[in-house]
Amino acid sequence: MRKIIKNAQIPFNGIMTKDNDVLIEDGIIKYVGQLKEKESKNNEIIDASNYYLIPGFIDCHGANGYDAYELKQMAIDYASRGVTGFYVTIGPESNQEYFRMFEECRKAFGSDYLGACFLGIHLEGPFLSLEKKGAMDEKKLRQVVTPEEVEELIDAGADVIKIITISPELEGAYEAINKFAEAGIVVSLGHSMATYKQAMRGIEEGATQVTHMYNAMRAYEHREPGIMGAAILSDDIYCELIMDCVHVSEEAMKILIKSKGTDKIMAVSDGDIKFGHDSSDRETEDYIIKDGAIYLKNGVLYGSTRDVADHFKTIIVKLGLGIPDAVKMTSTNCGTHMKIKKGKIEKGFDADFNFVDSSFKVRKTFISGQEIIL
C-alpha cells in the first residue's frame, strides 16, 4: 500500500513550505505537493500536523564497530537518533585489518538489517601526517604512500570504501589522490600540515572534501593559509565540521558559514559508539568526557558524544540559522556530495525522513518509508 504524509511542513528551495502531501511508494518519494481528495483514497495516511518533516540526518564521519554485531548495533543506535544514513569511519590500521573490517561490513549489511542505512566506509587514514595525528596511533600511520598499497586498498575494498582522508603533503600522496578519485572514491584532505599550495595541488588531483575543518590541520595564517584557505577559496570543496561547540567554537563556525556558505558544509559527529550519547562529565580508565567532548588522558581531543541530531539543534538555537540551512548541513549537502538519492524530500529520493517538533527534537524516524520502532 502506498503512504501519504499529509499536512507536512518541509524545507524547499531555502524556505519552509506548508500543507504538503508526500506520496511514498516502494520506499521512494513519488510526489510532493497537494493531492486531490480522490488521489488520497485507499492509501495509508500519516498526519504530520504540528511537526516539521525533514530529511533524515546523514553522518559522513561517524563511528566504527569491531565486528558485524557491533556494526549492526551501530545502525540501530543511529536510527534511534534520527540518523538514517551513515559512513563507518575507520582510523589508521594495517591493510590486513582494513580487509577484515571490509568483510565485517559486508557481513553486517549484505542482507536485511534493522536501523540506519550503511552508505559505505570512510577510511580516516592511514596516510596521515605525524605532526597532525590528533588522537591517532602514530605507530599505524604511514608517511609514504606507495602505489602498491593504494592498489591493494582499491582492489580489496572498492565496493565499500566511499571516502578516504589523506594528508596531501606526504610522499606519493598526489598520485594516490588521483588513483582513489579515478576509482570513484571521494578524497578528503585532513590530519595535515599541508601548505596552501600543497592543498591546492591535492584538489587539482581530485580531492573534493576536507576532514573536520579546523581540527588536526595547519592553523590559518595570513602568510600561509594552508588547507583552510584552500577549502574556503575552492568553491567546489565540501567541509566536514564537528558542530559540538567544543571541537570548534560558535564564532569559528559562524566564520566558516559566512565565508563558505551553507551549501558546502557537512555536520559530522566524529563519534564513538562505546561512549553513547551521554554528554555528562565523567572519566573512564583511558578517557575523560567533558561538555560532551571525549579526551585522551593526555588532553588530546578524541571525539564527541554529540551527534548530527544535536548539531541540527545547535545550528538553529546557537548559530541562529533557520531549519532549511540546518537541513542542508545535516543531510542534503552530504547526499549531494556523495551523489546518493538521500537528503531531500523531493520526487525520486529515498523516503528517509524525521518528524521534528517545535523544540527541534526528533519524534519519529522513517527509513525507506517505514517508521523505525526500536
Report the DSSP pairing between strands 57-59 and 83-90: parallel
Active site residue 270: yes
The radius of gyration of the chain's CA atoms, rounded to the nearest angstrom, is: 20
Under DSSP, is residue 317 helix (H, G, I), strand (E, B) or coil? helix
Judge whether 298 is annotated as a binding position.
no
Q: Which of 234, 134, 136 is nearest to 193 (CA)?
A: 134
Cβ neighbors of 113 (< 8 A, separation 6 or more) are 72, 75
End-to-end CA distance of the chain: 23
Judge whether 108 is annotated as a binding position.
no
238 CB burial (10 A radius; 0-12, 13-18, 19+): buried
Judge whether 212 is annotated as a binding position.
yes
Judge whether 216 is annotated as a binding position.
yes
**Set 244, 270, 310, 350: catalytic member:** 270
Q: Which of 368, 2, 300, 5 is nearest to 135 (CA)?
A: 300
Judge whether 191 is annotated as a binding position.
yes
Could you please report the per-residue DSSP string of 165-203? Answer: EE-TTSBTHHHHHHHHHHTTPEEEE-SB---HHHHHHHH
Q: Which of 239, 169, 177 is nearest to 204 (CA)?
A: 177
Judge whether 135 is annotated as a binding position.
yes
Q: Residues 177, 203: contact at Cβ < 8 Å?
A: no
Residue 211 region by backbone torsions, left for phi larger than 0, else alpha for psi between -120 and 50, else beta: beta
Q: Residues 183, 163: contact at Cβ < 8 Å?
A: no
CA distances from 358 to 53, 56, 165, 363 (A): 11, 17, 37, 10
The number of angstroms, rounded, from the C-alpha of 195 to the middle of its chain's C-alpha atoms is: 25
Pairwise CA distance, residues 187 & 183, whole Å: 10
Judge whether 75 is annotated as a binding position.
no
Judge whether 222 is annotated as a binding position.
no
Percent helix, strand and coil across the chain, each rounded to 5?
30, 30, 40
Annotated binding site for substrate: 135, 215-216, 223, 247, 301-303
Return the active site residues.
270
Annotated binding site: 124, 135, 191, 212, 215-216, 223, 247, 301-303
Annotated binding site for Zn(2+): 124, 191, 212
